[in-house]
DNA sequence: GCCAACGTTGGC
DNA sequence: GCCAACGTTGGC
């Protein structure tokens, strides 16, 4: 079992949206490293910290689980989508995703608070220059975050 | 809106 | 394969 932090812009998909939707595809990732985490390393049942980014109060807003293995992101084939990729074909899809199931909304653990806590200092998302939308979380970091959210 | 940091593209 | 130019992310 592994753990992850996944960023979502709440204007697009918030923790409330995700809770209402049930299992839903984590569409729109267009970064190879983030794709590779989903394609190669995620397993059903992995723990996910649901993070709100590009908003007034960025931070961890809920808990989720990986709910499927990887499969092609349908938005890459849709010319109407802002995630359309003309260089990708159904025979050779470039972008993969997993389904995510939100399990609960938590109080907001803000980025500012996260930065102030020594037990979270090792988190990849907090490293200087880090902007990956999906980052691995260690078991110690996961335990520390859940303890803070209790 | 700014801009640091990082990723991608494409000419050579 | 190098690397300059350009694009994107995302906090502030």
Per domain, the residue ranges of chain A are 3-149
Instruction: Tell if A107 CB is < 7 Å from nucleic strand B.
Output: no
List C-alpha distances in Å: A56 to A15, A52, A139. 15, 9, 28
Q: Is the dihedral of CA A41, A21, A64, A9 positive or negative?
A: positive
**pLDDT above 90 (res A86):** no
Instruction: Tell if A131 CB is < 7 Å from nucleic strand B.
Output: yes
Each residue of A92-126: pLDDT tens digit?
A: 899 999 999 999 999 999 999 999 999 999 999 99
pLDDT score at A150: 78
In what order do the strands lie in the sheet containing A59-66?
A: A24-25, A99-110, A59-66, A47-52, A3-8, A134-137
Distance CA A107, CA A59 (A): 10
Nucleotide nearest to A57 (CA to C1'): C11
Which bases in strand C are touched by protein, i.e. have an atom under 7 Å from a CB? Answer: 8-12
Global pTM value? 0.95
Instruction: Tell if A90 CB is < 7 Å from nucleic strand B.
Output: no
The domain A3-149 belongs to what CATH superfamily? ph1033 like domains (3.10.590.10)
pLDDT score at A101: 98
Nucleotide nearest to A110 (CA to C1'): C11
Instruction: Tell if A33 CB is < 7 Å from nucleic strand B.
Output: yes
């Amino acid at each position: 079992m592994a753990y992850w932090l996944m960023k979502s812009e709440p204007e697009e998909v918030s923790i409330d949206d995700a809770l209402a939707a049930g299992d839903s595809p984590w569409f729109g990732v267009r970064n190879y490293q983030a794709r590779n985490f989903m394609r190669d390393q995620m397993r059903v049942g992995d723990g996910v910290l649901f993070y709100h980014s590009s908003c007034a109060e960025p931070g961890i807003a809920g808990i989720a689980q990986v709910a499927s293995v990887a499969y092609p992101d349908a938005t890459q084939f849709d010319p109407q989508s802002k995630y359309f990729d003309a260089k990708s074909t159904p025979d050779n899809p470039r972008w993969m995703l997993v389904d995510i199931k939100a399990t609960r909304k938590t109080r907001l653990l803000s980025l500012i608070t996260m930065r102030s806590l020594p037990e979270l200092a090792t988190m990849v998302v907090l490293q200087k220059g880090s902007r990956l939308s999906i980052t691995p979380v260690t078991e110690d970091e996961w335990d520390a975050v859940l303890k803070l959210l209790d």
